[in-house]
Amino acid sequence: MVPWDQRAAGILIKPLLTTSITPNQLTIATILVAFMGAIMLAQGSLFWANWGAGLFVLSRFLDHADGELARQKNMRSKLGYYLDYASGGLSYGALFICLGIGFRDSSLGFWAIILGSTGAVASLGSVFTNLNIDKTNDNIDPEEGEAIGYPEFAGFELEDGIYLLAPITWSGWLYPFFVAASIGSTIYGLWALRELIRLKQQR
């Protein structure tokens, strides 16, 4: 089933089909928006956290827009495939690092940075794990720009939980979200690694 956010992105990018904007340009813009949001979250203030959370959520939605633009413009490429993975890894890596910095004056102290770094390492490590999962799967063709994606149910993917970042931040629950998400990122990284090992053992 096509994820709901991907369906929405497929509709919203229609005006771009007649422009010279390329999917890879949109991917780079997505990374920049994510970095801006992450940097705002690193400031440690409620004002900047509210804006940063909104920008980061926007960047994750735009992450689907580049793929839809590539499909509808028939511009899927191997570069776009790798760039899409890099976008996700770098974006989440920046998010965790910056959240750790933002909470350095909390009760966690320096451990906030350690926790954020753990989440970042897990996010970046998952990029390479998922790339290898794609390579192991015979039905995945990088030339077509198709990635394996995340576990999904009823049109929602595991990573769709990031959309909760904005309302959670605006409701004042960013701190527990940061702790839970950092741990969750590590768990997902271990799950992806186990999935890779399982696939290789089946070959």
Mean pLDDT, residues 67-92 taken together = 90
Q: Output the CA angle 180-182-185, nearest 5 degrees.
A: 105
Q: What is the pLDDT of residue 105?
A: 93
Give the DSSP letter string of 138-193. TT--GGGT------EETTEEGGGGGGGHHHHHHTT-HHHHHHHHHHHHHHHHHHHH
* Total residues found in the chain within this entry: 203
CA gap 52, 58 in Å, rounded = 10
Q: Is the pLDDT of residue 2 over 80?
A: no
Q: Is the pLDDT of residue 182 over 90?
A: yes
Phi and psi torsions of 120, nearest 5°: -65, -45
* Domains detected in the chain: 4-202 (1.20.120.1760)
CA gap 32, 87 in Å, rounded = 9
Mean pLDDT, residues 3-21 taken together = 86
Q: What is the mean pLDDT of the chain?
A: 87
Share above pLDDT 90 across residues of the chain, in percent, rounded to a whole number? 53
Beta bridge partners, 156, equal 153
Q: Is the pLDDT of residue 151 over 80?
A: no
Mean pLDDT, residues 183-189 taken together = 90
